[in-house]
Amino acid sequence: QKEVEQNSGPLSVPEGAIASLNCTYSDRGSQSFFWYRQYSGKSPELIMSIYSNGDKEDGRFTAQLNKASQYVSLLIRDSQPSDSATYLCAVYKGSARQLTFGSGTQLTVLP
Amino acid sequence: KAGVTQTPRYLIKTRGQQVTLSCSPISGHRSVSWYQQTPGQGLQFLFEYFSETQRNKGNFPGRFSGRQFSNSRSEMNVSTLELGDSALYLCASSSQGLAGGSAYEQYFGPGTRLTVT
């Protein structure tokens, strides 16, 4: 079982819809969670960080964390074609002291 | 604030050579982490430096090494290059980095694309 798992996609949604990206992790001791967006040929860009159970909203983005079920998700409201990118989930476990990334979900927003 | 800078942006080397990559973090940030990104393995953690000390290390061979200077700039060195070292090397800047109980937000530089022939 991979430490951090994401559906590779591609995930396609129409413009204006809600895109839902999911990530599960294997270690219950994980403590910090991040979502990055990576455009083709570019470096990852931090979108959200979340540290405690519940929802965290920032503009059109909402991160949701459920430690009991070991998943973290990212919702993108009113999706735009410019949101088309690969979204990377990253999980930090203090005992390992490293950030582990999922393989990413490729999102395409159709105009 | 200026972002994270990495030099060079592109590099072509031959097997057996060595290479040094440089990273300048965001002003005031003391943590620099290095990652390797390949299509097959994704983003993998190499190591983290904080206040000139290597604080954390990933599962990479000893050919991969690094250092950090007093101004927080960091260098990564790969010796005896192999074809499999071809990758995008990313550095990430953070105020406190991977600090035991919690990870602070990390901001990536543009990366160095290394091709080994």
Taking only the tens place, the pLDDT of each residue in B31-78 is 999 999 999 899 999 999 999 999 989 999 999 999 999 999 999 999
Extract the tokens encoding A33: 């969670």
> Strands, E, within A51-96: which ranges?
54-58, 61-66, 71-76, 85-93
Residue of A nearest to B41 (CA): A103
Average pLDDT over residues A25-50: 94
Which residue matches tokens 């083709």? A40
pLDDT band at A102 (very low <50, low <70, confident <90, very high): very high
Residue-averaged pLDDT of chain A = 94
A32 and A91 Cβ atoms separated by less than 8 Å: yes
Residue of B nearest to A105 (CA): B42
Average pLDDT over residues B22-26: 97
B60 and B43 Cβ atoms separated by less than 8 Å: no
Secondary structure (3-state) at B108: strand
- Put simply, whether A102 touches B (Cβ < 8 Å) is yes
Secondary structure (3-state) at A73: strand
Is the pLDDT at A49 greater than 90? The verdict is yes
- At residue B100, the pLDDT reads 73
User: Which chain B residues are within 8 Å of A36, Cβ to Cβ?
Assistant: 108
Kindly determine whether residue A44 and residue B108, on different chains, have CB atoms separated by under 8 Å: yes
User: Which chain B residues are within 8 Å of A99, Cβ to Cβ?
Assistant: 33, 45, 98, 103, 106
Is the pLDDT at B109 greater than 90? The verdict is yes
**CB neighbours of residue A57 within 10 Å:** 12
- At residue B1, the pLDDT reads 63
Residue of B nearest to A42 (CA): B110
Phi first, then psi: what are they for B83, rounded to 5°? -55, -35
Q: pLDDT: is B98 or A19 the higher one?
A: A19
CB proximity under 8 Å: A 35-64 to B? 36, 42-46, 49, 51
Question: Nearest Cβ partner of B100 from A43, A94, A103?
Answer: A94
Rounded to 5°, angle at Cα A42 from A40 and A43: 125
Is the pLDDT at A85 greater than 70? The verdict is yes
Extract the tokens encoding A18: 């809600």
The 8-class DSSP code of residue B98 comes to B
pLDDT band at B101 (very low <50, low <70, confident <90, very high): confident
Min distance A111 CA to chain B CA atoms (Å): 28
Is the pLDDT at B110 greater than 70? The verdict is yes
Sign of the Cα pseudo-torsion (B106, B111, B116, B117, in order): positive
